[in-house]
């Protein structure tokens, strides 16, 4: 059907389950939207049309009782995740012909749930901050954010209802917010990184960009859980993530004023208006600050990320220095100069900040703050990652919900929960999603 590409993931799966939509029709609709939007959007590295259609035909033959949670739903995959028979290039020329021989764990679990892999979405080179060719679906003059640029743009433009991204600094929540959709970064270790190119080992989080909170919840439900291929993955039970999205309990929020104060005037005013809407709907709010200060958290993340990125890329940059984009090349070369003592002190600060965040979270259900410091800037940058990077450093689950337009561009609310409390976080996020007014659809959505 013609609207198959603009349904939510939950809606698509439900219509397929009820017989109102076939898997083939859902994938055909997504491919048609690629054709309509890609010249302006430039979100895709590879659109795997033939395999996607073959998978959809196979999916339509699967008996109803064997169908998974995402059966027939077309999904985009950030081009740092291995997809069997496709290259994992990460925006890096020397990797363009390196064909993956097996799926990353995330992709394997999506397939097991019935999802159809539509193709690979654009990433900034090695998931760092060099600007991508991708454009924001709300304005071609603005960045979609990074590094999950293609995933954010493809979901924002309603090409697919769900796409996989990753966050080391702010690379899931920022593009989701800039593109006017939802995005979730789970607890560190909640999702396997097997088959994913690393950027910084102790900060890399696979995540989800999705149309709705329920879409994000069901997708995380599918991809989460321990994986023996990734020793850093957690055995902590995943539990039911979709059920809490139907909760109508008004939450209690802890707002971090030392983070809010760093936003632009327009974004800060928008945030306070959204807080007022939530309070009128029944939420309660307390206002606090990081005891060590937001600046310490941001600086600590910067040291850890740069030192680890330099270590990850030490050999590759020695082999192919000319192929590196300018920002990541400078970042790696400078990162090699960080003393080991500074990295160790940053890890000690990180542990202290984790304790402080845990104490703050005892005062409410979640932390609440702006997702981004302001609306999407121009296309020569990917935007400010500091508002999201704090929680990448701490490994806490975070989700963004679209909240308003500032200068005619989307911004979002960031909701942060205690470690491994994704279920509670989704319940709060769904409540906010229902309480906040819709921001509408971008110009690329007819």
- Whether residues 127 and 217 share a domain: the answer is yes
What percentage of the chain has pLDDT greater than the value 90?
97
Beta carbons within 8 Å of 283's beta carbon, 6+ residues apart = 250, 251, 252, 253, 431, 435
Same domain flag for 218 and 322: no
Residue 109 lies in a domain: yes
**Residue 1 within a domain:** no
**22 DSSP β-pair partners:** none
Query: Quick check: helix, strand or coil at residue 182?
Result: strand
Per the domain annotation, does 2 fall within a domain? no
Do 277 and 419 belong to one domain?
Answer: yes
Q: What is each CA distance from 174 to 185, 392, 401, in whole angstroms? A: 11, 12, 11
Provide the pLDDT for residue 3. Answer: 35
281: left (phi over 0), alpha (psi -120 to 50) or beta: alpha
What are the tens digits of pLDDT across the range 74-98?
A: 999 999 999 999 999 999 999 999 9
- Judgement on whether residues 232 and 251 belong to the same structural domain of the protein: yes
pTM of the predicted structure, to 2 decimals: 0.97
Residues 144 and 251 in one domain: yes
Same domain, 267 and 389: yes
Per the structure, how many domains does the chain have? 2
- Predicted local distance difference test score (pLDDT) of residue 357: 98
Kind of pairing between the strands at 398-406 and 284-288: unpaired
Strand 366-370: give its sheet, edge to edge. Answer: 44-47, 116-121, 74-78, 162-167, 205-210, 182-185, 398-406, 409-416, 366-370, 252-256, 284-288
Domain co-membership, 340 together with 356: no
Q: Which residues of the chain have a pLDDT value below 50? A: 1-5
- CA 384 to CA 174: how far, in whole Å? 8
How much is the pLDDT for 420?
98
β-bridge pairing 205-210 and 182-185? antiparallel
Residues 305 and 276 in one domain: no
- Tell me the catalytic residues: 78, 147, 171
- Within a domain: residue 300? yes
CATH of the domain at 48: 3.90.1300.10
Per the domain annotation, does 367 fall within a domain?
yes
Q: Which among 309, 324, 345 is the end of a domain?
A: 345
Residues of the domain holding 418: 7-66+73-290+351-446
* Same domain as 105, residue 86: yes
Please tell me whether residues 25 and 87 are part of one structural domain. yes
Residue 397 lies in a domain: yes
Asked whether residue 376 is domain-assigned, the answer is yes
414-427 pLDDT, tens digit per residue, is 999 999 999 999 99
| Structure-block tokens of residue 391 | 């929680």
Judgement on whether residues 269 and 302 belong to the same structural domain of the protein: no
The answer to whether 28 and 49 are in contact (CB under 8 A) is: no
**Helix, strand or coil, per DSSP, at residue 202:** coil
Does one domain contain both 316 and 237? Answer: no
Yes or no: say if 212 and 433 are a contact pair by the CB < 8 Å rule: yes
- Check: CB of residue 181 under 8 Å from CB of residue 164: no
Q: Is residue 364 part of a domain?
A: yes
What is the per-residue pLDDT across 124-177, written as a single tens digit (0 to 9) for each? 999 999 999 999 999 999 999 999 999 999 999 999 999 999 999 999 999 999
């Amino acid at each position: 059907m013609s609207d198959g590409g603009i349904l939510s993931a939950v809606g698509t799966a439900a219509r397929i389950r009820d017989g109102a939509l076939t898997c083939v029709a859902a994938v055909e609709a997504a491919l048609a939207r690629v054709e309509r939007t890609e010249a302006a959007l430039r979100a895709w590295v590879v659109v795997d049309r033939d395999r996607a259609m073959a998978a959809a035909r196979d999916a339509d033959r699967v008996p109803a009782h064997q169908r998974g949670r995402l059966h027939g739903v077309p999904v985009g995959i950030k081009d740092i995740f291995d997809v069997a028979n496709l290259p994992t290039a990460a925006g890096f020329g020397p990797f363009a012909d390196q064909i993956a021989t097996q799926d990353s764990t995330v992709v394997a679990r999506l397939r097991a749930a019935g999802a159809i892999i539509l193709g690979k979405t654009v990433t900034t080179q090695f998931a760092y901050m060099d600007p991508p060719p991708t454009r924001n679906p709300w304005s071609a003059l603005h960045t979609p954010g990074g590094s999950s640029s293609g995933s954010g743009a493809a979901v924002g433009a309603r090409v697919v209802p769900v796409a996989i991204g990753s966050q080391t600094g702010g690379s899931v929540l920022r593009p989701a917010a800039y593109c006017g959709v939802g995005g979730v970064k789970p607890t560190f270790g909640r999702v396997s990184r097997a088959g994913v190119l690393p950027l910084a080992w102790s900060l890399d989080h696979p995540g989800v960009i999705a149309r709705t909170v329920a879409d994000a919840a069901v997708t995380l439900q599918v991809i989460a859980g321990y994986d023996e291929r990734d020793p850093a993955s957690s055995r902590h039970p995943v539990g039911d993530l979709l059920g809490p999205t139907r909760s109508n309990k008004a939450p209690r929020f802890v707002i971090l004023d030392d983070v809010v104060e760093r936003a632009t005037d327009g974004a800060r005013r928008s945030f306070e208006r959204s807080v007022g809407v939530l309070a009128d709907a029944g939420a309660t709010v307390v206002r606090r600050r990081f005891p060590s200060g937001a600046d310490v958290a941001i600086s600590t993340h910067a040291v850890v990320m740069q030192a680890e990125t330099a270590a990850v890329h030490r050999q590759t940059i020695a082999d192919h220095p000319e192929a590196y984009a300018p920002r990541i090349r400078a970042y790696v070369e400078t990162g090699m100069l960080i003393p080991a003592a500074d990295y160790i002190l940053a890890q000690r600060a990180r542990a202290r900040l984790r304790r402080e965040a845990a104490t703050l979270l005892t005062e409410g259900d979640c932390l609440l703050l702006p997702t981004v410091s302001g609306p999407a800037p121009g296309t020569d940058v990917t935007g400010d990652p500091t508002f999201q990077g704090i929680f990448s450093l701490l490994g806490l689950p975070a989700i963004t919900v679209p909240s308003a337009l500032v200068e005619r561009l989307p911004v979002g609310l960031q909701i942060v929960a205690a470690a491994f409390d994704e279920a509670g976080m989704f319940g709060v996020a769904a409540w906010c999603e229902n309480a906040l007014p819709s921001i509408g659809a971008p110009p690329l959505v007819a």
